[in-house]
A and B are shown apart, each in its own frame.
Chain A
Amino acid sequence: MLKFIFRRALESVGVLLCVSLITFYLSKAIPGGPFDQEKKVPEAVKKQLEAYFGMDEPDWKRYLTYTFQFPSLPSTKFPNRRVGEMIASKFPVSLELGAYALIVALALGIPSGILASLKPNTALDYVPSSLSMVGICLPTFVMGPLLVIIFAVQLRWLNATGWENPSDKILPSLTLGFYYAAYVARLTRGGMLEVLNQDFIRTALSKGASMVSVIFKHALRGGLLPVVSFLGPAAAGLIAGSFVVETVFAIPGMGQEFVKAVSNRDITFITGLVLFYASLIIFFNLLVDIAQVFLNPKLSFKD
């Protein structure tokens, strides 16, 4: 397994290089620069700003600077901040929110998915299935304001915005969690049905094993496989933050920065964010690949 991880780490370097290179050329290709604004900036001023951020250097030099020194570079939009510290101050917030949302998603999604798979196409299936789909029917930009209206404006139990008190974290986590819970529930149901119909489960049941023990000892392993595959990128996305949830609840996380940094053409910050996010993706997909081996005894790390 160590060898597997080591090889993966090597490959990841290649992935990060590809990502940074493509991002660099994307940012060169899209119209508009960081210093364009409604009232046109005089050409001479713009030149000075571009020089300060190294934008007048040859491409290869710019690329190397942006990619390898991004933590210590100033953001073009917020020049008194450094990219590294901007990520460091926002990531913990997104991580916390993402973790709560993930807990909500799993705690709601997996049980209701299992429940639905036990007696397919009966009320026991339709009720949890329909409930779990509410998370998708009400996209986060509807769910968020709706929860705010109920719990903040009407009931006055919770704050409408912010990320200060522990109670502030409930609504955003639920909003984000409900959405993913729907995916988890549906994929669990599908995966479980797949497994529950297999011979070894029926054999186990016919031998008198209890349903609960069959589910937890045998079925869940294979049944959760699609959920696990889904969770790799989903978890990375969750922890990296959500643009909608963060703007609706005014949370100082990293998710809104992905969109805003691009609108601002904040090239130094974009590079930092993309590389950071790529590392998250690589890390979580690695975790998933390891988990897949553990979930399927027939597999080994050589595959």
Chain B
Amino acid sequence: MTRLVNPAKLQNLEKGESLWVGAWYRLRQNRMAMFSAAFILLLVMLCFGLPLFIDLDYKGIQSEKYFTPPGQEYLMGSDHLGRDQFARILYGGRISLLVGMAATLVSLTIGISYGAISGYFGGRTDRVMMRIVDVLYALPFTMFVILLMVLFGDNILLMFAAIGAVEWLTMARIVRGQVISLKKQEFIESCHSLGLRAPRIIFRHMVPNILGPVIVYTTLTIPAVMILESFLSFLGLGVQPPMTSWGTLIKDGADRTAVAWWMLVFPGAFFALTLFSFNFLGDGLRDALDPKTTRKG
């Protein structure tokens, strides 16, 4: 153990940059997390890279070849219009991975800052900020989306915004709950007595300590967002056919299990594996970033 950590690193450890260095070290020790990270990387390369090298047609219709089972001709079968399911999964993965990560990032950023500020300052600030969250929760999302679509046309960026705009609310509430309970702990009190400024206390000392639940919730947001995306395209916002996404593919497949199981099983498997990978990677990150494990080590 001692041999792996060199003295220079140990010095850093005291300085407080320890969190990230130590975390990276600990993350590498977590086999499941590294395996998951590798899988996600592979998937991204497949979805974004493979279509550049081999000829994959996601929109060409061979209408007489609808519902061809997986085999020689179509690796993962063909869909109800006779399109190559494999190509569609890869192209759909681009959209889903992009939407999943970007929207999650938006919701993460807003959620953490909003929740932490609200929880930290408490009092009237907190009350006003949380009532705003209540208002946003209650607004009819369907109407909001229809209006967005009418005003701005369909646009991928807009979709991220719309999804990010709803997904951060619960995140903010979770972060706020954690911050409030943290506020009363000794080390935060000592930060106050040291005269540290609020932004520094919040983002330097509090946020790292609440990352656990935040990471967990983030990894749960990714699949939720991917599914939400298919609901948005139902309302006319988001990707337009023949482009597709995993949410849409799964939805199309769900009603056809009796006729073409492969239309659900393959996109579903990609979706599930991605989801598992993100969750295990999230768990690894959580463990690695937990300041208390540092002390243990």
CA distance A22 to B254 in the complex (A): 36
| B135 near A121: Cβ-Cβ < 8 Å | no
Residue of A137, A145, A299 touching B257 (CB-CB under 8 A): A145
| A258 near B142: Cβ-Cβ < 8 Å | yes
Q: Is A19 an interface residue (CB 8 A)?
A: yes
Q: Which of A46-54, A95-103, A187-195 makes up part of the contact surface?
A: A187-195
CA distance A285 to B130 in the complex (A): 9
Q: Is A30 an interface residue (CB 8 A)?
A: yes
CA distance A262 to B281 in the complex (A): 39
- CB within 8 Å of B: which A133-180 residues: 133, 136-139, 141-142, 145-146, 149
| A197 near B290: Cβ-Cβ < 8 Å | yes
CA distance A86 to B215 in the complex (A): 41
Residue ID in chain B nearest A278 by CB atoms: B138
Residues of B within 8 A of A186 (CB): 216-217, 219-220, 279
Residues of B within 8 A of A149 (CB): 257-258
Residues of B within 8 A of A295 (CB): 181
Q: Is B61 an interface residue (CB 8 A)?
A: no
| A229 near B137: Cβ-Cβ < 8 Å | no
| B170 near A233: Cβ-Cβ < 8 Å | yes
| B131 near A15: Cβ-Cβ < 8 Å | yes
- CB within 8 Å of B: which A11-34 residues: 11-12, 14-15, 18-19, 22-23, 26-27, 29-31
| B146 near A262: Cβ-Cβ < 8 Å | yes
| A296 near B181: Cβ-Cβ < 8 Å | yes
Residues of B within 8 A of A213 (CB): none
| A225 near B181: Cβ-Cβ < 8 Å | yes
CA distance A259 to B143 in the complex (A): 9
List 7 contacting pairs A-B, 8 Å CB cutoff, sorted by A.
Answer: A137-B276, A142-B250, A187-B174, A187-B216, A194-B213, A226-B216, A299-B180
Residues of A within 8 A of B257 (CB): 145-146, 149
13 further interface pairs, Cβ-Cβ under 8 Å (given A26-B147, A193-B290, A197-B290): A15-B131, A29-B147, A136-B275, A137-B271, A190-B217, A194-B292, A226-B178, A226-B216, A229-B174, A278-B135, A285-B134, A295-B181, A298-B181
Residue of A136, A233, A274, A278 touching B173 (CB-CB under 8 A): A233
Residues of B within 8 A of A292 (CB): 177, 180-181
CA distance A258 to B217 in the complex (A): 26
Residues of B within 8 A of A136 (CB): 220, 223-224, 275
| B217 near A187: Cβ-Cβ < 8 Å | yes
0/1 per residue, B121-148, Cβ < 8 Å to A? Answer: 0100001001100110111101110110
Residues of A within 8 A of B220 (CB): 136, 182-183, 186-187
Residue of A126, A229, A278 touching B32 (CB-CB under 8 A): A126
Residues of A within 8 A of B279 (CB): 129, 133, 186
Q: Is A72 an interface residue (CB 8 A)?
A: no
| B135 near A19: Cβ-Cβ < 8 Å | yes
Place the interface of chain A in its size category. Answer: 35 or more
| B138 near A137: Cβ-Cβ < 8 Å | no
A145-B147 CB under 8 A given contacts A26-B140, A281-B134: no
CA distance A263 to B140 in the complex (A): 12
- CB within 8 Å of A: which B249-270 residues: 250-251, 254-255, 257-258, 264, 268
A226-B217 CB under 8 A given contacts A15-B131, A133-B279, A303-B180: yes
Q: Is B11 an interface residue (CB 8 A)?
A: no
Q: Is B3 an interface residue (CB 8 A)?
A: no
Place the interface of chain B in its size category. Answer: 35 or more
Q: Is A69 an interface residue (CB 8 A)?
A: no
A-B CB proximity, top 10 nearest:
A278-B138, A190-B216, A226-B213, A229-B177, A137-B272, A298-B184, A197-B292, A262-B142, A229-B174, A194-B212
Residue ID in chain A nearest B185 by CB atoms: A298
Residues of B within 8 A of A277 (CB): 138
Residue ID in chain A nearest B264 by CB atoms: A142
CA distance A187 to B254 in the complex (A): 28
0/1 per residue, A45-80, Cβ < 8 Å to B? Answer: 000000000000000000000000000000000000
| A141 near B251: Cβ-Cβ < 8 Å | yes
| B173 near A285: Cβ-Cβ < 8 Å | yes
CA distance A252 to B122 in the complex (A): 42
Q: Is A232 an interface residue (CB 8 A)?
A: yes
Residues of A within 8 A of B143 (CB): 23, 26-27, 30, 262, 270
Residues of B within 8 A of A31 (CB): 150
CB B259 to nearest CB in A, in angstroms, measures: 13
CA distance A303 to B223 in the complex (A): 34
| A229 near B255: Cβ-Cβ < 8 Å | no
- CB within 8 Å of B: which A229-281 residues: 229-230, 232-234, 236, 258-259, 262-263, 270, 273-274, 277-278, 281
Residues of A within 8 A of B216 (CB): 186-187, 189-190, 226
CA distance A181 to B251 in the complex (A): 22
Q: Is B240 an interface residue (CB 8 A)?
A: no
